[in-house]
């Protein structure tokens, strides 16, 4: 989490309006659009299309749905989750006229490094650069970006560093840009306890333990981060194969060790990290969201509202919604994207 996330104050705000989203005008091309309202309401178990494309240092695996000429939305997952966090969000957006792109981050699913020589680097700027490279490869000039956990941080970084490529943003848990310097500051005991896995990963025992028990570890995090989300075995097992990626453990361990300054990043990202360490404000239209039962470390919205200098709104989603907000409350998440996209169009 970013420096603003270090205050672990969990006071709820007010109720948010999560009524059904109004559709945007759809382009003429509808060959890949999900338009069956009954199928959307029933809950999805797969994506309409899974694809691969070489982008930057990666061969990126991604799901795609919707109108080929529609406004683009890129949905970004976190750790330890995968693209299935958006399996119900994607068809809602597709039915509303959007082109929806849902990539596996580096170290997940079918996304692979093109070269064995590329460092298995999990630092925040590298992951954001991956998504910019994906946009270039897909010839996407501008997109609305939305995500949670690592995905929200990635969206934040894109909006801060490459605002000309970001139309609008939805960010669960708000402003998550961090720095190694800020992360040197100790937290109160309760805050440190919530980050138990980060300290575990700082040890060789933790690295080996995660490698040996990745499946069970991920499920434990799901349960702790979303204590009121009663997901079934099938739901978890749809995501679990993504953690079998050959680089998943290396990327995870590097990410958390980099945050604490225990390992270096790549020099080619030094300029970006220097900018991010100043905690730049974000001017693109933004809606931040929080679930009322998020069991993962997250900041109080009052601590980050000032970081968003453009059109801005915060929404608290009630009903026992935890950390994996898109999968637990897909209608509310999709509505936020449609609403913020309208803000970006005015």
Question: Could you tell me where the DSSP H helices lie in the chain?
Answer: 37-42, 89-95, 124-137, 150-161, 189-194, 196-201, 204-212, 214-225, 233-239, 248-259, 270-276, 325-328, 330-345
Residue 319 pLDDT: 97
Tally Cβ neighbours within 10 Å of residue 311: 16
- Look at the block and give the residue holding tokens 């093109």: 114
State how far the Cα of 63 lies from the Cα of 267, in Å rounded to an integer. 31
Task: Tell me what pLDDT residue 9 has.
Answer: 32
pLDDT at residue 44, rounded to an integer: 87
- Which pLDDT belongs to residue 71? 97
pTM of the model: 0.88
Nearest to 175 by CA among 330, 279, 291, 295: 279
Q: How far apart are CA 180 and CA 273, in angstroms?
A: 9
* Under-70 pLDDT residues of the chain: 1-42
- Cβ-contact 103, 82 below 8 angstroms: no
**Helix locations, 168-323, DSSP H:** 189-194, 196-201, 204-212, 214-225, 233-239, 248-259, 270-276
The pLDDT assigned to 34 comes to 37
pLDDT at 30: 31
Residue 40: what pLDDT?
52
CA 26/CA 159 separation, integer angstroms: 26
């Amino acid at each position: 989490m970013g420096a603003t996330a270090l205050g672990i104050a969990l006071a709820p705000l007010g109720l948010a309006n999560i009524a059904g989203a109004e559709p945007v005008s759809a382009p003429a091309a509808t060959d890949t659009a999900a338009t069956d309202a009954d199928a959307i309401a029933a809950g999805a178990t797969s994506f309409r299309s899974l694809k691969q494309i070489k982008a930057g240092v990666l061969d990126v695996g991604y799901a795609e749905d919707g109108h080929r000429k529609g406004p683009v939305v890129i949905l970004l997952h976190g750790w330890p989750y995968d693209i299935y966090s958006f399996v119900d969000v994607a068809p809602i957006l597709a039915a509303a006229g959007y082109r929806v792109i849902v990539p596996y981050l580096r170290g997940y699913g079918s996304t692979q490094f093109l070269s064995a020589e590329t460092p298995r680097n999990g630092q925040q700027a590298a992951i954001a650069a991956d998504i910019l490279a994906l946009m270039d490869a897909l010839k996407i000039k501008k997109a609305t970006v939305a995500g949670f956990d690592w995905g929200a941080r990635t969206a934040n970084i894109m909006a801060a560093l490459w605002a000309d490529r970001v139309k609008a943003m939805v960010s669960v848990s708000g402003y998550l840009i961090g720095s190694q310097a800020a992360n040197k500051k100790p937290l109160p005991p309760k805050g440190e306890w919530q980050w138990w896995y980060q300290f575990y990963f700082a040890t060789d025992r933790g690295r080996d333990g995660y490698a040996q028990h990745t499946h069970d570890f991920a499920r434990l995090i799901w349960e702790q981060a979303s204590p009121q989300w009663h997901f079934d075995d099938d739901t978890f097992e749809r995501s679990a194969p993504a953690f079998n990626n050959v680089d998943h453990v290396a990327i995870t361990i590097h990410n958390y060790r980099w945050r604490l300054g225990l390992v270096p990043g790549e020099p080619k990202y030094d300029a970006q990290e220097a900018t991010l360490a100043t905690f730049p404000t974000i001017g693109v239209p933004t809606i931040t969201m929080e679930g009322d039962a998020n069991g993962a470390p997250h900041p109080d919205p009052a601590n980050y509202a000032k970081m968003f200098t453009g059109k801005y709104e915060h929404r608290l989603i009630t009903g026992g919604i935890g950390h994996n907000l898109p999968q637990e409350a897909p209608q509310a998440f999709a509505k936020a994207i449609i609403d913020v996209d309208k803000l970006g169009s005015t």
